[in-house]
A and B are shown apart, each in its own frame.
Chain A
Amino acid sequence: MAATVRDPAHRPVRPPLGPADARSLIAAAVAAGVPAGLLFALTGFLMAMPPLLEAEAFEEGGALPAAADVARLLWGLAGSVGLGTALALVLAPIVRATGAPGWRTGLAVGALAFLAVFLLPALVTRPGPPGIEHAGPMALRQGFWVAAVAVFAAAWGAGLLRYRRGAPGSRTRVRAVGLGVSVWVACMGLLAAVTGFTPGPEAGPVPGPVTARFVAAAAVTNACLFAALGLLIPPALRRFCP
């Protein structure tokens, strides 16, 4: 029997998904996360490492930028694969739970995760190369990073419950997005008020243009990572967790 049937609107409808099990979800996450992590490593080495080494040279008092040795590159590779796999382990169950693990769903989840894990925390905890002296103690900034992601997940959940009730482009959907944004801004504002934390300004010996180049390279590197995760998770789920 054909695997794909058509509904009256002539859109292909996939057969319902079978029950998932944790081992298949983990296998799918590893299959998508390892290559996504390798892409993160490659983009990072090519784009983010030059300004990072330059910043380190300023940190050490204006020495010439050192070349990264093999051990450092290998640890970078291991960390990148670990990061890609970790994110895939969190995102694959979300893509699977939508019930429609196609590339559109994958890219939408990847884009939301990029917003949640890189872009929005970057507004609060401000990424930067080594040598930058950030405002506020590290533990507090780490706490803010975790809070930024957790509050986004909660706001996303709260908004999504309403979003699903609305038709595409309807007022309900616009309001749902508004609700999610308001919940995030209100919670982060409240946390900042309670802890007395304000992001920036940064100090240190690294010139502004070097920092700017590093942050732009980091943004591109992370965008590649989440795009790869969004595109690789759905086929991995279809292969390991149909």
Chain B
Amino acid sequence: MHRTPPAQPSRSVPTALPAVRAALTYLTPVALGFALLGLVGFAPYPAVHDAFHDVRHVAGFPCH
């Protein structure tokens, strides 16, 4: 009498999840970087604009 072989783990789950995890791993710092870039270079609030005014000009961001 044959014994049923042990069930193979489903292949789709272990390959799909690392792809999502890898995307999150790489995109988290990128998203943080864009947020910080937006604050330093593009935030419209007058206080932020005045504080980073010189940096905006030197970096070539549209400022006025």
User: A residues within 8 Å of B by Cβ?
Assistant: 19-22, 25-26, 29, 40, 44, 48-49, 52, 68, 72, 75-76, 78-80, 82-83, 85-90, 92-93, 96-97, 118, 121-122, 125, 127-130, 132-134, 138, 141-142, 144-145, 214, 217-218, 221-222
Contact = CB atoms under 8 A, between A and B. Distances in A.
Contacts of A68: 54
Interface string B40-64: 1110000000011111111111111
B57 to A, nearest CB: 6
Contacts of A130: 53, 57, 63-64
A49 B54 contact: yes
7 contacts: A19-B22, A22-B25, A68-B54, A90-B30, A90-B37, A125-B60, A132-B64
Report whether over half of chain A's contact residues are helix, strand or loop; otherwise say mixed.
Answer: helix
A93 B60 contact: no
Contacts of A93: 25-27, 29-30
A56 B32 CA distance: 33
B25 A25 contact: yes
A49 B36 CA distance: 23
B18 to A, nearest CB: 8
Given A48-B54, A85-B33, 19 more contacts: A25-B29, A26-B32, A44-B58, A52-B54, A75-B52, A78-B52, A79-B40, A83-B59, A85-B36, A86-B37, A86-B40, A89-B29, A89-B36, A93-B30, A121-B60, A125-B62, A127-B60, A218-B58, A222-B60
A48 B60 CA distance: 12
Contacts of A122: 60
Given A22-B28, A75-B51, A82 B40 contact: yes
A25 B33 CA distance: 12
A48 B40 contact: no
Contacts of A127: 57, 60
B36 A145 contact: no
Given A93-B26, A138-B62, A86 B36 contact: yes
Nearest to A137: B62
Given A82-B40, A118-B60, A138-B62, A29 B54 contact: no
Contacts of A86: 33-34, 36-37, 40
B25 A20 contact: yes
B60 A83 contact: no
